[in-house]
Structure 1
């Protein structure tokens, strides 16, 4: 029954509220009348969705809800547009509208929807089943608790077997039922129930051979004239078989796989379709009939490719990889097909997370506790196998397609794109080609586009992938070309991963190290870049100098060595005569005497530049310990380090005025004459000998 003016609540509603009620009644009346063109139906559904959305805010302000005029007949009409026999655009808008209604109506809306579902299932006609199943499939994602309750109601799942095993098939009923099961498998309790009640007949559908029907009819009546229509009505369609296979794939993947090396078999085995068999079925359908079967095949493979054996088979199939990339290239942005194809690529290229020593020990203890020590890492998921799969995916030409999709993709698909590039960037030999094909621009744009509040993990992955590529490539080539991206745009993402991840349970220093290395490479280019690095990242860089990890300290000092090649940055950070500059210099000088040779080398290189400033020379000469650190470089066994030490000493003694005299006195007092003499004698390289002798001459001259 259509809503009427008599159904409106009485009282002193505002004119605005009355107007919203009238609009709701009018829209529902048109939708209940039906017979409209799709574009008119879509327009009405959109308007009703907006009214319901606005109603939620109005109720918060104390106004009555317009949902009180939406009775059970209206709900039946609204969810009826979720029927798979409607066009896709109508179904999509009806889904949004139903979601808005359930949010606005609350418990009353849930009650009306439950009544609708149980009533249609109880009637049991094909039409009623189709609508009920379509509604359940559509609303599962946004009201999973309600739909699970309907789905798990007593006797419902058990009744599906006889329905699907009927001699005469309704493909629409079968399709709607399988779409519902497909959506339900996203919820663990529902998936367990499907596993218990539906696996057997799902297997029958997948294994069904229509030729058997023909043979059976001939056997029963050899003289019978077989009509194609009657056979078709007794067989499952290819689409239905594929959908059943997708549901089975979700069930198989949720079950634990057999540990590597475990050859034990149960005494009584049930004939089942393995995940590998399903994968081959999906792959065959995808390659032979991509236009009609790509969506369900892709969805099935997105789940099947979680298994390592399936990953290996798919990665070794060049035809499949090329077709997958081609399908992704043609897929509409933000579509299920795009998301499914990207999910497969993520599964094929994903590396196992790096575990700390403590995490490895805990995993081993759990393995012994849970599986008597039989649980071992899957060898097909080790780094060597994943690297090989990454190379094959890259060779299929995926990068330009990912770059194209990243420009119009959803946040979810952008996260998957970043994950694939992140994995590909693990292979050093691919980094230059990734940069050439646009991965750097992709990662910078993705980092800027992703919301920091809701997508911190994806942003860190994007920044780390960017760091890896920039470590191994020439910045002038990466940021050049006809449409150059300013390299300063890369600094903020890199700076964001210098501090450890605040949301991580364990501290991972690899992103910090890679960010420092990438910034060091950028800092080798020009003064503008060095200035931007200091402006955006200096406090974090300075903190890393005191890291307990020597590799992090070394990377930070190497970056500073490149930064101080800029006169402006060197002067402002270390040579302005302030106490802060002196404290910074003291840390740098101390690192010139560190245990790690690379750290000493980087600190020595920085001091070789900084001792061109009088304030720096005076600060070093004023501290006996600092002078000793400089001379320790001159005594080093490594020629490169002796060269740095001799160069620093030369800069100090050649400083004019009182500062130069102070430096000479301090160096002499510390034994510089003997040290520089030994440095010149021990060195085999002419440039080291020359700078040591020149420093010695300046030191001893009156």
Structure 2
């Protein structure tokens, strides 16, 4: 009896994955459901499809085997613009998951769906096909591009859009598809060829003139903007047409490779609406049409690729402030956020730094391609970009970026870093950037970015370095520990291994920033030594004099920590001896700043007898130190006098040996010359004390 009871209570076995899939499709095919139910079922199906990829690799049967054409149609029809936004979003995720799991079979189903709907030719079929294409362009761009460029498809849009009686929703769906397509290089040229004329007609329709075509015979007809009977395009449709026009005109279209010479010939008819005209329209829309803010922001994101429009928008303070407010209020990880950030990136982007060799090559290319007529636009030079950066900063962008970075996507975070990096080029802005939180943003962004975003991480670290060069660390790091900045800074000491050119500017700026940090306290110095000493030491040997100088300046600050000074230079090892030799060699360099920094390091290091022994052991050690005492620079003479005083003041054998070596190298004469040249009482006092010790020894 007990066994029977247990069997009865066990219930039916759980459904297999394929059965679950079929049940979900059965539910999705039913009509009259609440949106929440539809969203839940799409979500469950998406999860099954996501799991299917890994399970199929392990040999389990794929659930895509039970998804036929009708099932596929059911899901993609939820991408229809007439569906609620939440449903469309979940249908997008589900379709994406299916195409990933189904492979070539999924591509075939997508192609069959698109072509069958277009061939049917009803308004409903056009709307669904256009909506599906618009949704798929960001997900499977290559596949959707091939469908979009199917022979005869683009040429068929003009008659459809110019019908006397047409569907407003077909217009909207078609323009949404063209808008998505024009983000692909291969699609812009065909759209320009086949669609430009009717896009112009839509974008430039005068609503007042369109209203004159209404038949007034029936006074009871309620005609509204966008009405079919009025034959007037809605405001949103006109704006979308303008957006597509900007995309095909602001960026030079890439040839598809299939055009004939005739296709590539310049068009005879003049362009009636320039990119400048469209940008002005989008700028007005920021204020006048807040409901269409996404279109206006996206349009400006493309229009501001052109230098003239960048410059004009940068001078429009009110529009810049409006864009900052739009960014502040935009939902996180939304197209609106990305579009607004793209505008500010365009406004603030500097030209890439070129080596002399790259400049010569580009000049040769310009002469070869256009007889030397192709020249960089002067509105993109550093002076104009710096002016635009100032305008963007004055509009209040920094605090908004600091606030928004916490919940941003990787793509948006990369744009934020690009903006801050450009602003940090202007040295007068660095203190204000730090006050407004830019340092916190960069320190938080660096570890948040995946390692695959190596270039963006380097950009963030370099921007951080620039700001920290020009600011007081004790004021910047009141809430954030200084140690948090060390890893990003040390990551750019070595040149970028993935770059074709050797750019030493990040190395130089990182060393300067670390030098500034190392001026504060021993804890920071120890953290820098632990995290970056090998890379810092390597830069002491740099063939670039400025990098080598920056490295020894950093070492000068690091050895102010007695613990680190002894660990690096005073352990009696061969490495320590080599380091002492290197610092002495830099104290004898041609560059005065290098000699000064090395002299400062020696002034600290020679406070320890074990390091004095190492200096004396070098064949030219005493001679280099005495040469510092005779230098033309008052500061270097002071450093030299302190070093000699430290050496002769040592007790025991080390002190005796140092005094003997210095006397033999001409210390009395060198110190006497130092005293005669110096005007500083402090220097003279040190020299007198040192001479007393040496003469007493003598």
Task: Tell me the distance in 2 between the aligned counterparts of 1:222 and 1:397.
Answer: 52
Question: What is the CA distance between 1:168 and its match in structure 2?
Answer: 2.4
Task: Tell me the distance in 2 between the aligned counterparts of 1:267 and 1:449.
Answer: 48
Matched residue, 2:315: 316
Task: Tell me the distance in 2 between the aligned counterparts of 1:578 and 1:77.
Answer: 75
Matched, 1:571 2:566: yes
Task: Tell me the distance in 1 between the aligned counterparts of 2:221 and 2:628.
Answer: 95
Deviates more, 1:207-216 or 1:95-104: 207-216
Matched, 1:229 2:228: no
C-alpha contact 2:43 2:94 (8 A) present in aligned 1: yes
C-alpha contact 1:169 1:236 (8 A) present in aligned 2: no
2:488 counterpart (479, 488, 493): 493
Question: What is the CA distance between 1:226 and its match in structure 2?
Answer: 9.4
Question: Secondary structure of the residue that 2:671 maps to in structure 1?
Answer: helix
Matched residue, 2:501: 506
C-alpha contact 1:624 1:666 (8 A) present in aligned 2: no
Task: Tell me the distance in 1 between the aligned counterparts of 2:86 and 2:490.
Answer: 44
Any idea what the Cα deviations from partners look like across 1:504-524, whole Å, max 9, x if unmatched?
A: 110111111111001000000
Task: Tell me the distance in 2 between the aligned counterparts of 1:149 and 1:579.
Answer: 66
Task: Tell me the distance in 1 between the aligned counterparts of 2:368 and 2:143.
Answer: 37
Matched residue, 2:153: 156
1:637 counterpart (622, 632, 640): 632
Question: Secondary structure of the residue that 2:130 maps to in structure 1?
Answer: helix
C-alpha contact 2:185 2:253 (8 A) present in aligned 1: no
Matched, 1:425 2:424: yes
Matched residue, 1:74: 71
Matched residue, 2:9: none
Task: Tell me the distance in 1 between the aligned counterparts of 2:276 and 2:685.
Answer: 70
Change (3 A) 1:536 1:401: same
Any idea what the Cα deviations from partners look like across 1:556-588, whole Å, max 9, x if unmatched?
A: 101111111111111111122222111111100
1:340-419 to structure 2, matched below 5 A, reads 340-419=339-418
Matched residue, 1:12: none
1:533-572 to structure 2, matched below 5 A, reads 533-572=528-567
Question: What is the CA distance between 1:269 and its match in structure 2?
Answer: 6.1
Matched, 1:30 2:45: no
Question: What is the CA distance between 1:169 and its match in structure 2?
Answer: 3.5
1:81-480 to structure 2, matched below 5 A, reads 81-216=78-213, 227=221, 229=223, 232-233=227-228, 234-255=231-252, 270-290=270-290, 292-452=291-451, 454-480=452-478
Question: Secondary structure of the residue that 2:54 maps to in structure 1?
Answer: helix
What TM-score, normalized to structure 2?
Answer: 0.94
Any idea what the Cα deviations from partners look like across 1:465-490, whole Å, max 9, x if unmatched?
A: 1111111111111011xxx1111110
Question: Secondary structure of the residue that 1:624 maps to in structure 2?
Answer: coil
What are the ranges of 5 or more consecutive residues in structure 1 without an aligned counterpart?
A: 1-14, 258-265
How many residue pairs match? The answer is 671
Any idea what the Cα deviations from partners look like across 1:649-701, whole Å, max 9, x if unmatched?
A: 11111111111111111111111111111111112222222212221221111
Matched residue, 1:527: 522
Task: Tell me the distance in 2 between the aligned counterparts of 1:215 and 1:45.
Answer: 47
Task: Tell me the distance in 1 between the aligned counterparts of 2:448 and 2:672.
Answer: 60
Question: Secondary structure of the residue that 1:374 maps to in structure 2?
Answer: coil
C-alpha contact 2:200 2:273 (8 A) present in aligned 1: yes
Question: Secondary structure of the residue that 1:81 maps to in structure 2?
Answer: helix
Deviates more, 1:359-368 or 1:66-75: 66-75
Question: Secondary structure of the residue that 1:701 maps to in structure 2?
Answer: helix
Question: What is the CA distance between 1:432 and its match in structure 2?
Answer: 0.9
Question: What is the CA distance between 1:213 and its match in structure 2?
Answer: 2.2
2:579 counterpart (584, 587, 603): 584
Matched residue, 1:7: none
Question: Secondary structure of the residue that 1:338 maps to in structure 2?
Answer: helix
Task: Tell me the distance in 1 between the aligned counterparts of 2:216 and 2:320.
Answer: 47
Question: What is the CA distance between 1:230 and its match in structure 2?
Answer: 7.6
Matched residue, 1:676: 671
Task: Tell me the distance in 2 between the aligned counterparts of 1:268 and 1:133.
Answer: 30
Task: Tell me the distance in 1 between the aligned counterparts of 2:269 and 2:199.
Answer: 18
Task: Tell me the distance in 2 between the aligned counterparts of 1:271 and 1:323.
Answer: 30
Task: Tell me the distance in 2 between the aligned counterparts of 1:606 and 1:146.
Answer: 63
Task: Tell me the distance in 1 between the aligned counterparts of 2:330 and 2:267.
Answer: 47
Any idea what the Cα deviations from partners look like across 1:289-329, whole Å, max 9, x if unmatched?
A: 22x01101111111111111111111111111111111111
Task: Tell me the distance in 1 between the aligned counterparts of 2:124 and 2:217.
Answer: 36
Any idea what the Cα deviations from partners look like across 1:582-629, whole Å, max 9, x if unmatched?
A: 111110011000011000000000000111000111111122311111
Question: What is the CA distance between 1:81 and its match in structure 2?
Answer: 0.1
Task: Tell me the distance in 2 between the aligned counterparts of 1:239 and 1:164.
Answer: 15
Matched, 1:698 2:693: yes
Question: Secondary structure of the residue that 1:503 maps to in structure 2?
Answer: coil
Question: Secondary structure of the residue that 2:100 maps to in structure 1?
Answer: helix
Question: Secondary structure of the residue that 1:573 maps to in structure 2?
Answer: helix
C-alpha contact 1:470 1:518 (8 A) present in aligned 2: yes
Question: What is the CA distance between 1:101 and its match in structure 2?
Answer: 1.0
Matched residue, 2:258: none
Question: Secondary structure of the residue that 2:94 maps to in structure 1?
Answer: helix
Task: Tell me the distance in 1 between the aligned counterparts of 2:502 and 2:31.
Answer: 60
Matched residue, 2:611: 616
Task: Tell me the distance in 2 between the aligned counterparts of 1:351 and 1:237.
Answer: 39
Question: Secondary structure of the residue that 2:79 maps to in structure 1?
Answer: coil
Matched residue, 1:9: none
Task: Tell me the distance in 1 between the aligned counterparts of 2:386 and 2:220.
Answer: 55
Question: What is the CA distance between 1:225 and its match in structure 2?
Answer: 5.6
Task: Tell me the distance in 2 between the aligned counterparts of 1:529 and 1:479.
Answer: 12
Any idea what the Cα deviations from partners look like across 1:364-421, whole Å, max 9, x if unmatched?
A: 1111111111111211111111111111111111111101110000111110111111
Deviates more, 1:65-74 or 1:126-135: 65-74
2:43 counterpart (22, 42, 46): 46
Matched residue, 1:517: 512
Deviates more, 1:427-436 or 1:270-279: 270-279
Deviates more, 1:541-550 or 1:181-190: 181-190
C-alpha contact 1:169 1:235 (8 A) present in aligned 2: no
Question: What is the CA distance between 1:189 and its match in structure 2?
Answer: 2.0
C-alpha contact 2:332 2:407 (8 A) present in aligned 1: yes
